Amino acid sequence: MDYKSCFDSIYTHAYKWITQKNVVNSKDAKNGSLYVTIDRILQNINSKSSNGVVVGPEFSRMIVELLLQEIDVEVMIRLSKNGFIKARDYDVYRYVDDIFIFAGNSEIIDEIILTITNVAQKYLIRPNELKLVKTTTPFILSNWLSRTRELSEKISNLFYCAEELKNVEERKKYLLKENYLSVEKIKNDFNSIICEFSNEKRTIVSFCLSTLLNNISKKKNGIRLIKPQSENRAFHILELAMYIYAFCPCFEHTQRIISMIVYFDDELKFKENRYYHNKLQVLFSKYVFILMRGNLNDLSNLILLFYEYKIVIPSNYEEKVFKRIKELNNPLIYAIYLLYSKYFEPYFNDILYNIEQIIDKKINHITKGEEMLQEEFWYIIIFYNCPFLSNILKVKMQQIINRIRFTNPGYPNEIITNLICNYISSGHNNLFFTWGVHRFSVAKQIAFRTYQRSLFREFKSRNSQIYFGSLD
């Protein structure tokens, strides 16, 4: 088993929880503690963010090891209290976030997995249920995995590796090979594996998309993706990516597709070049059925990509997509789709009218007393600062906000309630949802979500007007 997005998911304040239970603010912790110092160092490296540890430096590996070893020790103590002794009843080996568990029977294995899960969650770290594998020893590599690795090698062979580019002149360095792209053969092989191992579909798709993105993301230090005059070959790769993605369009796979688009956009300029924009439009139109099959919560960033790159969902699908959005009852998806609809004013006005009717109905259901705990209040949080809404609707929202304010706040909950009310009604376009002018590319923030965690970037000083974290 392993920990899910281990470095990205580490909450730096959790180090203080090792010695002092549930301390959130460093100012309230004892300065003499090593763990308080670690928390502060990690935040200073990470642009004052307490979420995530910088990936790469050996220092990070060492610091993460301190937290993971604390989990190891707590797991061993809990197991011993339950009568399971290490080296007698079981053995556990861990390399960074990969954990290998050995025991005489499956009951002990299940107990160990449950204990690791419970202890890790105490520090906000979660095991990755998708990568949990149980088997008997001696371990025999699953046939689906060996087949997928072979396919992954075929995908990698579409690109030059670093060794092949080492002695090539700078101006001739590009990643995508010029020889025949056997995309259809790869699609057939992929389809065959999926049909044979349908229970492993999500992992197989993840494996193949990761292979594609890992090769595409080698585009750096002057290395181009595509040889000049061969730009159309990029769409063979994007077609392959979309074909694989269509089998499992979950959230993390959506992020990878968006990242690939961003890398190719750097050379193809989809927004400015009409020819390549049209080809991208045709590609997404071909796979628009994904919006009907996938979970729209997982696909929300794809709709944001359409908004940013001016990609239009075919009209015969738009009505179906909006119907699905209505069934979700999610104000965030409504807001994203409203932005998307701006490509055509009559359609935008129609969607706006529908959404206004929905918002009006929802906020009318907000009853007096603990308004902020009612799910309909999310429509106020997301839409209060929407510049497109009618004044009548905004007045209704303001009346609800005024109703929950405290005249003379004294208790902490009253002060906090007033702070939130003041923030919501401050009149800015960019509050809980960015309705105003975007100072950044949503797609690029998804593609390069570790930018803020890169050393020596001077992120804070260069981008003092941007206040947002990793979008995922």
For residues 98-120, give the mean pLDDT: 93
Q: Hey, what amino acid is at 186? A: I
Q: How confident is the model at residue 37 (pLDDT cuts 50, 70, 90)?
A: confident
Burial 122-143 (b: 16+ CB within 10 A, else e): ebebebeeeeeeeeeeeeeeee
Q: By C-alpha distance, which of 163, 186, 158 is closest to 173?
A: 163
Q: Name the average pLDDT for the chain.
A: 86
pLDDT at position 40, please?
A: 81
Q: Based on C-alpha coordinates, what's the Rg of the chain? A: 26
User: Which has the minimum average pLDDT: 11-25, 127-141, 316-330?
Assistant: 11-25
Mean pLDDT of 232-247: 94
Quick check: 242 pLDDT over 70?
Answer: yes
CA-angle at 343, arms to 342 and 345, nearest 5°: 65
> How does residue 463 score in pLDDT terms, banded at 50, 70 and 90?
very low
Q: pLDDT at position 460, please?
A: 42
pLDDT of residue 449: 59
Give residue 50's pLDDT: 80
pTM of the model: 0.72
The pLDDT tens digits for 381-403 are 999 999 999 999 999 999 999 99
For residue range 244-290, what is the model confidence (pLDDT) as tens digits? 999 999 998 999 999 999 999 999 999 999 999 999 999 999 999 99
Whether 135 shows a pLDDT value over 90: the answer reads no
Measured torsion, CA atoms of residues 160, 161, 163, 169, in degrees rounded to the nearest 10: 40
Instruction: Name the band, by pLDDT with cuts 50, 70 and 90, for residue 471.
Output: very low
What is the pLDDT averaged over residues 228-234? 86
Q: Which residues, 6 or more positions from 2, have their beta carbon under 8 angstroms from its beta carbon? A: 97, 98, 99, 127, 128, 131
Phi, psi of 91 (to 5 degrees): -140, 140
Distance CA 444, CA 305 (A): 10
**pLDDT at residue 19 greater than cutoff 80:** no
Using pLDDT thresholds of 50, 70 and 90, give the confidence band for residue 472. very low
- 306 contacts 358 by C-beta, under 8 angstroms: no
Distance (Å, whole) CA 84 – CA 106: 13
**Tens digit of each residue's pLDDT (9 = 90 or more) over 139-194:** 666 788 889 999 999 999 898 887 777 766 655 778 888 776 688 899 999 999 99
Alpha-carbon distance of 275 to 451, in angstroms, equals 31
DSSP for 348-409 reads HHHHHHHHHHHHHHHHHT--SSSGGGSTTHHHHHHHTT-TTS-HHHHHHHHHHHHHH--SS-
Residue predicted with more confidence, 117 or 446: 117
C-alpha dist (Å) from residue 439 to 95, 387, 423: 41, 17, 20
Band of pLDDT at residue 451, cut at 50, 70 and 90: very low
pLDDT of residue 454: 40
Torsion of CA 17, 23, 24, 27, to 10 degrees: -120
89 secondary structure, DSSP code: T
Calpha distance 464→80 (Å, rounded): 51
- Look up residue 323 and give its two tokens: 């119907």
**What percentage of the chain carries pLDDT values higher than 70?**
88
Predicted pLDDT at 318: 95
Distances 273 to 278, 313, 402, 449 between C-alpha atoms, Å: 9, 19, 49, 26
**pLDDT tens across 431-445, in order?**
888 887 666 677 887
pLDDT for the residue 22: 52
> So what's the pLDDT on residue 84?
92
Q: Which residues pair with 88 in a beta bridge?
A: none
